[in-house]
Structure 1
């Protein structure tokens, strides 16, 4: 035991360093504070109903809180039979948010760099370079917790794969299975998809090498181990993957139901929506110079800036000048709608990445370079659509994702890998003269770029958006000043943008120079490997720490008491007096697709979800956004409508007397052919009297008993839970009932008096069924096989993974003991 501790003492020291870094960077988190994250606050509105049932000890997989109702798989689901669920809970229990994610980023990357045979302190430097790459920190600040958590497993997954490819099959496959299972459990399919892209490149390069060297049998053996590890990771996550796959086909990422009236592509996301956050081609300079494009859209100029001086000169109130400059005069001048910050990888990392391209001879360089180029070209999206459109149109699943710039998270890993391998090469390669020559060339290229921006920033950078003229015109109108005054103000803004770029260019030049000096000193044998490693670690940490604090610092943290839900409005208080468990509300003063206030208090027609149901999306676009169809509100049991008065200063609430209620019998059935006719029929129908039904469901009804409904027939809601609805009906004759509940046939079942009966879709997206005459108990239950059967598979996979981990540890201990000499 003592020998083991002594042998691994340096790893414990590195882990202690990582903990210290996390403690000092995220110190407010250790005193009970949390990050005031907009996205987290918005997510709370989607979880109100789910959390209410969680507090009662109940799990619900459906919520009626937003968009009329939808599965809760991508909002919250427990997955208790998944081993990784408990690992994630353990991390959350030990570390306050977001420290756990940062620590996993550090430890996972450290494992990868150790697998690459780097000196431990050099591996620690690489781990810091990856973890504190600005995009990762920006994600934590913005509240994209799942995305950052998914990125944290990039490095250890690749570490496991490299071990398998090197012939360490058992330990490599087991680690691959474990970390890939955790990667999938992070539940950010887009980032997992991007990771698989570069894994495919790696495997492709290894296959080419195996063919070239005649080692194809060894490659096949490695591939089989990796296939087994992948299958095990998938099995562990069977419940979440199956549910996501099944649900995904019904969401806005699935196939369009409409053909004639469709405003979206037949399958996947609209291209403009997917490409909305595209990296500007020129913005890649921010890898090296963080504020070359102005930094964050939320960034504000200081009191001595040219903009503040110009505003004050115009007569603006000095106390208001800073606010005006921040809200109307953004320092960021790229083409994204807005951004939280730049993709800065570190000046010294960029310098050593270029150096690595010159000196690394192994095939891993080509994998890293190909991965960087692919991520860059795809991140350009609409700004360089040649490759992006090919992927969007033909590559499986690619058109399901948006914010294409996020693929640069891959480059954020590849840059430090090649950079650190370059340092390793300077230590192990004996041709110091050749290395020194390439080092100088790399320095001239990288430092030269910084120097040009510092001295002649306008040579390559315009500091104006492509919509500059329109921006000037809008600003003139908003400030109500003459064009000359606006131009002087905009020129001051351009000067501020220029000064930011020049300042950061000089800053990056200093860090590039310091990195050059460190490597030069090592090549000249003026410092040893330990000094080089520690020096570079300090350099990278200082560089990235300084820039990261622009985006995530102590001011981002607030006490938990300050993280307040949306304020209860008078209209909300009035509506909440209604004790009906299942009415709906629409707020016409807010965007129906992004209302985060109303769903917090009520079951809402509006809300925000990136995985809302496709049919509801189509209904919104055609019946509620262009103009509000009151009959659609009626069929959705929209009992309350929030509007503003004529002065638009106060909100008012209208009670809708025509809301159809929870369920009702209809007297007329209108059969139509296909979704297009269904949608058209909604333009002119009476929800309470007529059900619009696709003719494919006609066979589910007793044709001989489809006369007019019994006028005295009633159907009432007896009990409500999101996943269990119980009704009582009474009618003198068979009749069709429409239920004001969203149709989703992947788990909902209906029983009448305990016997399962068929139901169908009516009015484009509601449930309906033929109810026999008499008094009956009707029950809808949501019990999706994708979740419950998937949980059984997850349990089996988790047991196998535990056995694999235990077996691997046993095999390693036994191997180590057998290799020790006996007395």
Structure 2
């Protein structure tokens, strides 16, 4: 053991450096402060009901009524305790404060990959830093995209396991692949995992070609077999998660539309093309890989008192504070996206080394990295390069399930640093054998440094600095100010400010390219020792990318935990509504009702926020709440309280006495033959009297036994989101409608403990025919996909632990 520590002392030193970097950058986290992440804050509101019940009995419910009148909690918060990945990620989260756990996964995973690629340790450390500090890794963290950040962090170790296996280390490589792929899947960001899958498909194609060419197909077959077994284990470890996610996706907005519309036919699956392409990377916007704020940076306020806009306004007599306030409302970002948190910046030195790698790195690994990088860039263009994007969107399985196509650049953010590091490793291993290496260093400098210099000196040569609707914005401002000429002057000043921002960052990048190229030049000319050159390069890369990331994630993003809780400051209207201890729903019109989860923190609401809400509920929103609010639909959703602004700007509560309640017995049922007819029938009806049922459920209803609601009553007597208990009394068989969202992938209905059929009514609700008498009705959410999936996860987790332990034992035995 002592010798093992001695042999690996350099790796422990690297890990210590990583922890030190995290300690310094995220000092507020060590001091007990909390990172303000808007998506995390939204998630806390979304999960509030789940967490409350978890605190009561230690088990989070699999269903929540806190949003959209009810939905599975799979994509909000669900514990998978039989999945080993849950415990591994949980350990890091418990040991290291957020977001240090995520950053360490980035650093350690990338370091493992570079070590597998046989990169020298300190060069590997440089590469891990270069990848980790790619701007969007930090932007995702700042925004609260926690699962996305984790998924990206596991890209590198998954590739490490696959690469080891392809190079003949079947057992150890397969074990690593199974472990890290299991973790990759466990963090549950299918979109990111899917992009990794696309990159691995390219690698597989290249490997097959070379194996055929070199007559090594049998050897490659063994590698593929090991990888296939690893994938099966990883999938099985996550059986509960994958099964429930797949099941839910079929019913969500990522699945099939129920209504035929002009924009989306009923047989089309996936998100709308325009929605998917909304965040497309502009073609020229890729210059931000090298010059971070060439496109103005993020969409937030950026201009200050020294800006051209402020100078113009103050020269016209506008007070400085007012001029600055006005300037900060103007967008410096001028790209094609609706808005952005910041640029995709990979580092000026990293881009220089990447270009150098194109000259000096040999072998199919380079071609894989280059081809996967180019594909990720082309796909990120989205609507700007529809020829390629449409092929994937229309024909590549599952690709049309995902939005924000610019996210494919996560592949480039990893593969560009990999090739950059391989270039350094080539120099370290055989710089005297590389022909004309000094010239290739100069060529790379001329390309990257020259581009930076051109933007610094002649920014308008490449860039326009105007948004697509620049003229419309100018005209609108002219109307608001009553002076079109002055508005034009302001917009011209804004263009000058954008140009100045780009020019400053271009000079900044040029300086770092000079530093990077200079260090490499001195190294190859034997003017600088390799170790010193690598350390200085790593320091320069860190300083460069640290400075850019500080623009988007810094100490100002951390606050005391009590201030986070104030994000959900209970309003007086919330307190008044909370006095009602019955079960009901709320409609809050003072917020973006169907795009904010804030109301869910205190109430069960018909609104909320989720990127994959149920398709039927989304259709209900679009048809019944787009414009005028359908009061009948509010009634059937048991919307007892409505929060709105009064004429004086204060909040008021409307107590809706017409709300139908938790459940009710109807007098009549009407059958319809299509989803369109079902939806149209909701336009005007009395939900307490009539149930609208699709004819597909006709066999579950005996129309002759649909009795009158006279002398009948039904009441919710026990509430847990995934277990509802009602008591009812009826002189004869009746048809009851429950103000609960229909979802047949796990809900079961019982009368006095005996399971009964139930069906969909009023497009989104549950209904059942009940026998006469005094009885108890229960609805239990018991999804087979979760419970059986968890048992599969437990068995697979045990196999993974045994396989990994055996691989470690074999490796130690071979090295003994």
> TM-score surpassing 0.5?
yes
What is the CA deviation profile of residues 590-638 of structure 1, one whole-angstrom value per residue up to 9, with x for unaligned ones? 3332133322211101110011100000000001123211110111111
Shift of 1:302: 2.7
In structure 2, the partner of 1:7 is 7
Q: Which segment drifts farther, 155-164 or 595-604?
A: 595-604
Shift of 1:183: 0.6
Alpha-carbon distance between aligned partners in 2 of 1:560 and 1:436, rounded to the nearest angstrom: 54
Alpha-carbon distance between aligned partners in 1 of 2:778 and 2:48, rounded to the nearest angstrom: 24
What is the CA deviation profile of residues 675-700 of structure 1, one whole-angstrom value per residue up to 9, with x for unaligned ones? 11100111122111110001111111
Alpha-carbon distance between aligned partners in 2 of 1:63 and 1:463, rounded to the nearest angstrom: 47
Shift of 1:400: 1.0
Alpha-carbon distance between aligned partners in 1 of 2:24 and 2:384, rounded to the nearest angstrom: 39
Alpha-carbon distance between aligned partners in 2 of 1:193 and 1:611, rounded to the nearest angstrom: 17
Alpha-carbon distance between aligned partners in 2 of 1:494 and 1:661, rounded to the nearest angstrom: 57
Paired residue secondary structure (2:693):
strand
Paired residue secondary structure (2:715):
strand
Alpha-carbon distance between aligned partners in 2 of 1:612 and 1:464, rounded to the nearest angstrom: 36
Change (3 A) 1:663 1:261: farther
Alpha-carbon distance between aligned partners in 2 of 1:790 and 1:583, rounded to the nearest angstrom: 33
What is the CA deviation profile of residues 161-186 of structure 1, one whole-angstrom value per residue up to 9, with x for unaligned ones? 11001111111010011111111111
Alignment of 1:532-551 (within 5 A): 532-551=533-552
In structure 2, the partner of 1:553 is 554
Structure 2 contact 291–452 (Cα < 8 Å) conserved: yes
Paired residue secondary structure (1:780):
strand
Change (3 A) 1:215 1:404: same
In structure 2, the partner of 1:470 is 472
Shift of 1:702: 2.4
Segments of 5+ residues of structure 1 without an aligned counterpart are 818-823
In the alignment, does 2:746 pair up with 1:723? no
In structure 1, the partner of 2:309 is 307
Structure 1 contact 710–733 (Cα < 8 Å) conserved: no
Segments of 5+ residues of structure 2 without an aligned counterpart are none
What is the CA deviation profile of residues 109-156 of structure 1, one whole-angstrom value per residue up to 9, with x for unaligned ones? 011111111110000000000000111011111111111111110101
Structure 1 contact 663–738 (Cα < 8 Å) conserved: yes
In structure 2, the partner of 1:188 is 189
What is the CA deviation profile of residues 508-546 of structure 1, one whole-angstrom value per residue up to 9, with x for unaligned ones? 111111111122122212223212221211121111111
- In the alignment of these two chains, the number of paired residues is 812
1:289 to 268, 282, 291: 291
Alpha-carbon distance between aligned partners in 2 of 1:432 and 1:41, rounded to the nearest angstrom: 53
In structure 1, the partner of 2:786 is 787
Aligned-residue RMSD, C-alpha: 1.4
Shift of 1:776: 0.9
Structure 1 contact 668–690 (Cα < 8 Å) conserved: yes
In structure 1, the partner of 2:46 is 46
Structure 1 contact 264–270 (Cα < 8 Å) conserved: no
Alpha-carbon distance between aligned partners in 2 of 1:620 and 1:313, rounded to the nearest angstrom: 50
In structure 2, the partner of 1:401 is 402
Structure 1 contact 122–536 (Cα < 8 Å) conserved: no
Q: Which segment drifts farther, 567-576 or 340-349?
A: 567-576
Alpha-carbon distance between aligned partners in 2 of 1:160 and 1:499, rounded to the nearest angstrom: 46
Shift of 1:565: 3.0
Alpha-carbon distance between aligned partners in 2 of 1:390 and 1:262, rounded to the nearest angstrom: 19
In structure 1, the partner of 2:571 is 569
Change (3 A) 1:812 1:432: closer
In structure 1, the partner of 2:616 is 615
In structure 2, the partner of 1:513 is 514
Structure 2 contact 304–328 (Cα < 8 Å) conserved: no
Structure 1 contact 274–401 (Cα < 8 Å) conserved: yes
Paired residue secondary structure (1:105):
helix
Structure 1 contact 261–676 (Cα < 8 Å) conserved: no
Alpha-carbon distance between aligned partners in 1 of 2:590 and 2:316, rounded to the nearest angstrom: 35
Alpha-carbon distance between aligned partners in 2 of 1:529 and 1:84, rounded to the nearest angstrom: 40
Q: Which segment drifts farther, 718-727 or 269-278?
A: 269-278
Shift of 1:260: 4.9
Shift of 1:735: 1.2
Alpha-carbon distance between aligned partners in 2 of 1:627 and 1:711, rounded to the nearest angstrom: 33
Alignment of 1:627-638 (within 5 A): 627-638=628-639
Shift of 1:470: 1.3
Change (3 A) 1:520 1:783: same
What is the CA deviation profile of residues 662-718 of structure 1, one whole-angstrom value per residue up to 9, with x for unaligned ones? 111111110001211100111122111110001111111224323x42411111111
In structure 2, the partner of 1:504 is 505
Shift of 1:475: 2.6
Alpha-carbon distance between aligned partners in 2 of 1:617 and 1:205, rounded to the nearest angstrom: 43
Shift of 1:263: 5.5
Structure 2 contact 512–544 (Cα < 8 Å) conserved: yes
Alpha-carbon distance between aligned partners in 2 of 1:675 and 1:682, rounded to the nearest angstrom: 11
Shift of 1:555: 1.0
What is the CA deviation profile of residues 475-513 of structure 1, one whole-angstrom value per residue up to 9, with x for unaligned ones? 3344x2411111111111111111111111111111111
Alpha-carbon distance between aligned partners in 2 of 1:597 and 1:462, rounded to the nearest angstrom: 39
Alpha-carbon distance between aligned partners in 1 of 2:628 and 2:54, rounded to the nearest angstrom: 37
Alpha-carbon distance between aligned partners in 1 of 2:185 and 2:77, rounded to the nearest angstrom: 15
In the alignment, does 2:95 pair up with 1:94? yes
In structure 2, the partner of 1:258 is 259
Structure 1 contact 85–185 (Cα < 8 Å) conserved: yes
What is the CA deviation profile of residues 719-742 of structure 1, one whole-angstrom value per residue up to 9, with x for unaligned ones? 111011111111111111000000
Change (3 A) 1:315 1:608: farther
What is the CA deviation profile of residues 243-300 of structure 1, one whole-angstrom value per residue up to 9, with x for unaligned ones? 1000011111110011257757731111122112111111000000001001111141
Structure 1 contact 19–103 (Cα < 8 Å) conserved: yes
Normalising to structure 1: TM-score of the pair? Answer: 0.97
In the alignment, does 2:379 pair up with 1:389? no
Structure 1 contact 105–131 (Cα < 8 Å) conserved: yes
Alpha-carbon distance between aligned partners in 2 of 1:308 and 1:769, rounded to the nearest angstrom: 66
What is the CA deviation profile of residues 795-816 of structure 1, one whole-angstrom value per residue up to 9, with x for unaligned ones? 0010001101110111111111
Shift of 1:35: 1.2
Q: Which segment drifts farther, 598-607 or 70-79?
A: 598-607
Shift of 1:377: 0.8
Shift of 1:390: 1.4
Structure 2 contact 587–639 (Cα < 8 Å) conserved: yes
In structure 2, the partner of 1:322 is 324
Shift of 1:432: 4.4
Shift of 1:205: 0.5
Structure 2 contact 304–327 (Cα < 8 Å) conserved: no
Alpha-carbon distance between aligned partners in 2 of 1:475 and 1:296, rounded to the nearest angstrom: 22
Paired residue secondary structure (1:547):
helix
In the alignment, does 2:63 pair up with 1:62? yes
In the alignment, does 2:138 pair up with 1:137? yes
Alpha-carbon distance between aligned partners in 2 of 1:525 and 1:254, rounded to the nearest angstrom: 61
Alignment of 1:669-708 (within 5 A): 669-706=669-706, 708=707
Structure 1 contact 60–723 (Cα < 8 Å) conserved: yes
Normalising to structure 2: TM-score of the pair? Answer: 0.98
In structure 2, the partner of 1:820 is none
Alpha-carbon distance between aligned partners in 1 of 2:726 and 2:435, rounded to the nearest angstrom: 85
In structure 1, the partner of 2:349 is 348
Structure 2 contact 51–60 (Cα < 8 Å) conserved: no
Alpha-carbon distance between aligned partners in 1 of 2:688 and 2:709, rounded to the nearest angstrom: 14
Alpha-carbon distance between aligned partners in 1 of 2:729 and 2:421, rounded to the nearest angstrom: 75
Alpha-carbon distance between aligned partners in 1 of 2:780 and 2:596, rounded to the nearest angstrom: 28
In the alignment, does 2:234 pair up with 1:268? no
In structure 2, the partner of 1:336 is 337
Change (3 A) 1:411 1:786: same
In the alignment, does 2:779 pair up with 1:777? no
Paired residue secondary structure (1:307):
helix
What is the CA deviation profile of residues 726-776 of structure 1, one whole-angstrom value per residue up to 9, with x for unaligned ones? 111111111110000000000100000110000000000100000111111
Alpha-carbon distance between aligned partners in 2 of 1:486 and 1:678, rounded to the nearest angstrom: 52
Structure 1 contact 714–729 (Cα < 8 Å) conserved: yes
Shift of 1:159: 0.6
Q: Which segment drifts farther, 799-808 or 302-311?
A: 302-311
Alignment of 1:454-465 (within 5 A): 454-465=456-467
In structure 2, the partner of 1:821 is none
In structure 2, the partner of 1:523 is 524
